[in-house]
Amino acid sequence: MNVSEPIRSTTDPIEMLLKTILNAVTDYKSFRFGKIFFEKKGEPDQRIVVEITPRKNGKAVCSVCGRKCPTYDTAREPRRFEFVSLWAIPVYFSYRMRRVTCPEHGVIVEDIPWGDGKCTQTIEQRHFLANWARRLSWSEVAECFGTTFNKVYRAVKWIVDWGLKHRDLDGVESLGGIAEKILRQVRCRLGRRE
């Protein structure tokens, strides 16, 4: 049975609460959260799916140079990105990626603030898992937060790779320090778009 069940209606207080929480923990200025629904509700692999759409005046951004560009086209099928789980229920963002026409880079996939378009894990989830992986074993992290060992591994690897690439930066020694720096980088990226 594959049940896709809206959490209720668009004005449902539970859906509104989830949107309020998501808006409080993210900062996707050019995008908005749309419909939120359960998939396979009550089954062992149930999940919450959150649709994301661009804001009406939110212009797409080139993923190489960060320039705002006209939209070339929009994917028919949405892509899924795993966000931080809620009460051990996996949460997925669902978004139809756009391609832009950049004067410098041609037709190219847009930049999205929650990921890089290639990885199915959001930046937030990678930070979350990598931080918990400092305290628990990777398999415990996977079990506690409704994800897989491989995703915990990839999250840690992503942070460590980033740290190695930037080890010439002052004071980058610990995983914590690296995570702090990535967070700052992400915030800067978001700020530059405005």
Q: Report the alpha-carbon distance of residue 112 to residue 131 in Å, rounded.
A: 22
Q: Are 48 and 87 in contact (CB under 8 A)?
A: no
Q: What is the DSSP string of 95-137?
A: E--EEEEETTTEEEEBP-TT--SS-SB-HHHHHHHHHHTTTS-
Number of residues forming the site for Zn ion (CB under 5 A): 6
> Which has the closest alpha carbon to 119: 81, 145, 85?
81
For Zn ion, give the closer residue by CB, 64 or 75. Answer: 64
Q: At residue 66, what are phi and psi to the nearest 5 degrees?
A: 80, 10
- 62 binds Zn ion, rule: CB under 5 A: yes
Binding to Zn ion by residue 102, rule CB under 5 A? yes
Beta carbon of residue 64, minimum distance to Zn ion (angstroms, whole number): 4
Q: What's the CA gap between 64 and 49, in Å, rounded? A: 28
Under the criterion CB under 5 A, does residue 107 sit at the interface with Zn ion? no
Q: Please state the closest distance from residue 117 (CB atom) to Zn ion, in A.
A: 14
Q: Of the candidates 14, 17, 65, 169, which one interacts with Zn ion according to CB under 5 A?
A: 65
Residue 64 binding Zn ion, by CB under 5 A: yes
Q: Closest CB to Zn ion among 35 and 105?
A: 105
From the list 43-51, 59-67, 152-160, 177-185, the region that binds Zn ion by CB under 5 A is 59-67
